[in-house]
Structures are given as structure tokens and as C-alpha cells.
Amino acid sequence: MNLERDLSERMLAAETVALPGRAIPTAMVQKNFRLPYDLAQKLKLHVAQQSVSTGSRITETDIVEALLRRYLNQGVSAA
């Protein structure tokens, strides 16, 4: 098992998309999570409100990615 090779193969196979605010395209992978119904509904409502208030399309993925990055960065800086 070669972890570096396995990871690089997965990165090459991943979908590459250009996202707003990113200078270069980013390899994306799909993750599926089960969320409590009430949390999923709050997320859906929040995304709709943000899209209306900003005047640009905001997705659930945008919100979850931003929160996850913030959470993981705080965990790293606290260590």
C-alpha cells in the first residue's frame, strides 16, 4: 500500500471545478452525511436567506465547506 500514490490517484480522478474566490480549480470529492431533519431544514433556510441577502447564489455546500474549514482550522491552531 502506497498512501501517497493512492491519494494522488484519487485526486486525479476527482472532479475538478473552478469555485468563486479560488485562484485555481480545486479537485472535489463527494461526501454523503446524514443530518437531523431540523438541522437540514435550518441549513436550507439559511442558504435561501443568504442567497437573497447577497444577491448571488449561495449553496449548502458553500456554507458547510466554510464552516468545516473554520472548525478544522480552529482545531489546528488550538493544538
pLDDT at 54: 92
pLDDT at 18: 55
For residue range 15-32, list pLDDT tens digits in order.
555 555 566 677 888 999
Beta-sheet pairing, 26-28 with 15-17: antiparallel
How far lies 10's CA from each of 14, 34, 52, in Å?
6, 24, 36
How far lies 1's CA from each of 5, 29, 51, 61, in Å?
9, 21, 45, 32
Whole-model pTM? 0.61
Please report, for the chain, the start and end positions of each structural domain, with discontinuous segments joined by +: 1-30, 32-79
